[in-house]
Structure 1
Amino acid sequence: MDRERLFQLPDEYRHLFQFFFVFRVIALAFGLIWLLFKISQGANYTFGLFIWLGILLYTIAIYIKRHEMYALLLKHPTSLGFDIFVSVALLFAYSAGDSPFYYYSISPVIPAAMMFRFKGAVYSSGILSLSQLASVFVHGATMNEFFSLGHFPLFLGQITAYFTVGFMLVYPAGLLDEVIRQRSIIKEKTEKEAVSEERARLARELHDNLAQLLSVTKSKTNTLYEELSGKMADQAFDACQLIDHALQDLKNAIFALRPENIELGLDQMLTDFCRRLPFPNGCKIDTYFNIDGVNLSGEQKFEILRICQEALGNSVRHSRSDTIKLEAIKENRKLLVYIEDRGTGFEAAKISKGVGLLSMRERAEKLKADIEIISALEAGTKVKLTVPLKG
């Protein structure tokens, strides 16, 4: 069991732990009835009443601190050994064949089976069964008495109860693990869908409002440019150029938020994106793709596209390189993506905390991928993304 994951979702397991406390309450009730019955027959069970009161207070303390105890068991499972030790001590307090605390001694098997499944059920039940056996002889039973029809069937029944309770909980605890796993998958899928819907909404808002506003502004500025002359015309022309750049950047942002071709293959998406990039000073992008048979989800393709967008954008704007290489290949159940230029490069230590580089690393984490960014002054920049593939 992944106890770190369960510690993050403690409410899921508290339902099974409630059974643990209910069982103890029932066991304490049986123990009290047993003690009162023996006392009514004249037996001296005063010591037993004190023990019963002690384990009652112990159980109340555990219940009051159940959240802390739950966290303690998940972080330090060996603490369960103390509870087993208490039950072993109770078995030795009286002969196991005639003990008012027998049912209570079963209770540690419950969390052991829930936390460690089959091994927990076997080990805890085995320890308590051996203690049960030893208790009989510690309190003076002979071999003949032990194997008599009056004692041996009862002993077998008691031992069977330990293992039965333990094995009963192996299946529901495992089933609950699967429920937690499925719930986590559903939650992750829902969150991704919500993010995708929000990106689509933002893309629509930018397209329907800001893009349209810039287009109208560009049209009016062009009209103004045609009506002006001299220095004023030059300024209007410069304004038109700035609006063109803003429109291009906005279109790239809209595409990044919601690629129209997200259903296409990654190679086609990257090719389409490269066509959209403005190439100053004659810069061009050489692409090479060998990713046939690579199946990626829309979310994976989106994150890879955004990483490539950031890396390519940086190279186009800052590297002053005349050629940028973009490669994507499949190799040993991994997708390798390379973006490389032979430009001016940069000192990695100085801008390692830049927003762009940080964004690339965060997106790589979402993909459970590794990303390397290698650069040096006048030696160019190389970005290598390694994405693990399923199957």
Structure 2
Amino acid sequence: MNNDIKNNNCGSALVWVLVICIIFAFLGIAIGSIALSMNNRSIKNNSQQQAYFTARSGLDAVVESLNGDPAKYKFSAYLYNNLINGSHSIEIENIFENIGITDNVDEIARIGKCRIEGSYIKGEVTLKATAEAGGQTEKMTLTARRNQDGGTWPAKVWGNLLKESSVQGKIEIGSIKDRKYSESIKDEEKYLIDFVVYQVNAGDESAHKGKLSIVDDTTTNNYPNQAIFIYVNGSETLEIDGIENWEEDYGPDIFIYLNSGATLNLKSQESIYPIYISAGTTAKVNILDGTTAEVFHVNGDLTAVDKNLKFVETSTKVPERIPTSNYNYSANIDPDNGARISKWDIVKYEEDDN
């Protein structure tokens, strides 16, 4: 009988040992599974984080090159020739293989791959990055605009006389050959000077009447004008009967400054005159045929404005259409300012849903 009890106890102990072993085996499997899952999640999170920084680095690299000197850097020249001008768009399969960050293939692989798509319209650059790292994908969008730093306009001493074109009744403006440069501007910086200045003076040499015709004579290593300035000197009158060859999306911006005593006459037209007007206190703006004309902006200094001149402002007195160049809509003239380089500021980053 004692032997039977001993045998039963031994059998029972073996069963419990087996049960405990099974329990620990399941616990081990569960713990291992949890550890593996956490490890995979950690790897995934690290890869996702790497993809995020890869996307952001790719976007920042493009903006940095956009602010670079195209005379020195091939990628900066590529951006100006294609994104800002040309097709106004770019597609780059892997930004890190294109901007010369490194020639090391293994290092590029560790950084990850970042595809960039970019577009430019109405003074705003939109860049979309799709980055891949460790099997994870991150999408991000960056928006950038030209720096509108205080609204200082180039001085009128930089201006050519406004002249009639070979076609009677037309005044050609915006030719690249009309640009002037300060002696302090380096040759390599002239690539980014993107404005021209004109004056309306007394005498037969200066045009006073006609339709403004925007010239598009872009040549190699010259970029289209983003801004055109016309200064009408005191006691002079400029009469405009329309504007042609102007694009809503790409401009250029047209600014007119009326010195005290100057007059601007506009003929009515169905479309808006795409100009921003600033003036001295005794300047005048007239609509010739008694109907209405609309411009982008008239500053608050004008005291003699034809009641038929219209312009659209927001509730905060800002023009509905902001200039796409790096100049403000209201004049602040610096007599010593000849030329300024266009710079681009990042407006915002946005993460896209994957």
TM-score (norm 1): 0.22
Higher helix share: 1
Higher strand share: 2
Structure (1 or 2) with the larger CA radius of gyration: 1
TM-score (norm 2): 0.24
Higher relative contact order (CA 8 A, sep 6+): 2
